[in-house]
Amino acid sequence: MTRAPRRWLDPTGAGMALGIVLLASFVVAGRGIGASGAFAAAAGRTLDAVAPAATAADPALADRIPSGVALIDDWIVLQLVGLCLGAAWSAWQAGRLRRGSGNASGARLLRALAGGALMGVGARLAYGCTSGLALSGGALLATGAWIFIPIAFGTAFLVTALARDPALARP
């Protein structure tokens, strides 16, 4: 178990591979790959159960958080399940699967939680995240994606410059 983890792919090669996966998705599924859409479907299902009228007030909100999605038969949900399976298998194969604790302080977890929550709201407003909007929409030359990419990355650079997490030193 002390074997060093397998090294990462060269980023150019990884980018090409990711582009080929994306292209395959366009061709066989007629849509790009994504992540936040699955969270929206799951959150919509939860809201159906706990606060059924939560999104009814504004059609723009109802358009962003779908109601009544059959999660087990939803493309983006199943794709995210596949992503988790693939990532777990790949991390295990590469000797990077972590078990137990020891990799995150309380402050780091809090930042991740708060960051996740902000991304949740931001992705709903923007109709997608770095995968579904920036990556898939970017390749399709969707206007909204090219609005999102520079602003999201610009803000991320700015926030990092102001409040960098010391726990995340270089690997």
- Site mask for other proteins (CB under 8 A), range 145-164, x = bound: xxxxx-xxxxxxxxxxx-xx
Q: Which is nearer to other proteins, 3 or 33 (CB)?
A: 33
Count of residues engaged in binding other proteins, rule: CB under 8 A: 135
11 binds other proteins per the rule CB under 8 A: yes
158's tokens: 């700015």
- CA–CA gap between residue 77 and residue 85 (Å, rounded): 13
Smaller CB separation from other proteins, 2 or 12: 12
Residues 113-152 that bind other proteins (CB under 8 A): 113-149, 151-152
Residue 64 CB, shortest distance to other proteins, in Å, is 7
Near other proteins in 93-112, by CB under 8 A: 94, 96-99, 101, 103-104, 108-112
Tell me if 49 contacts other proteins by CB under 8 A.
no
Q: Which parts of 70-89 interact with other proteins (CB under 8 A)?
A: 73-89
| CA–CA dist 51, 33 (Å, integer) | 29
Using the 8-state DSSP alphabet, how is residue 121 labeled?
Answer: H
52 contributes a contact to other proteins by CB under 8 A: no
Give the separation between CA 31 and CA 163, rounded to whole angstroms.
36
Q: Among 1, 31, 52, 71, indicate the residue that binds other proteins (CB under 8 A).
A: 31
**Burial letters 61-74, b for 16+ CB under 10 A, else e:** eeebbbeebeeeeb
What's the min distance (Å) between Cβ of 1 and other proteins? 14
- Residue with tokens 């931001």, as numbered in its chain: 122
149 and 134 in contact (C-beta within 8 Å)?
A: yes
Calculate helix-pair angle for 106-126, 36-50, nearest 10 degrees: 90
- Cβ 2 to other proteins shortest distance, Å: 17
